[in-house]
Amino acid sequence: MTDAVSRAADLLKEHRESIDRLDAILVYTLGERFKHTQAVGKLKATHDLPPSDPAREAKQIARLEDLAKRADLDPEFAKNFLNFIIAEVIQHHKKHQE
């Protein structure tokens, strides 16, 4: 193996290790986020509040799009990602109300 190929292999390994660490951070962060949204769902159910808050959701999407732009991340991807999370949260909130 040439030095260039060996260096490339080492760099690839380092990038993959970083990706693995970041994936773990994402999973644990989402887990923490869902703990809070589950508490919100229980609170909403207890006080007979609707499971969805479109005004808050729109505000959060705009906020995330702005954060994405500043982080050099595609804002459309960030918006789709948050919409997916919001849909999951609303489903959890509806389950609490049953």
Convert the pLDDT of each residue in 1-33 to its tens digit: 789 999 999 999 999 999 999 999 999 999 999
pLDDT at position 47, please?
93
Token code pair at residue 38: 């589950």
pTM: 0.76
The answer to whether residues 52 and 97 touch, using CB atoms and an 8 Å cutoff, is no
> Could you list the residue range(s) of the whole structural domain that residue 53 is in?
3-97
| Environment class of 25 (CB within 10 Å of its CB; exposed 0-12, middle 13-18, buried 19+) | exposed
Residue 68 to residue 49: CA distance in whole angstroms = 31
Total domains, the chain: 1
Mean pLDDT, rounded, for 46-57: 90
**CATH code: domain of residue 42:** 1.20.59.10
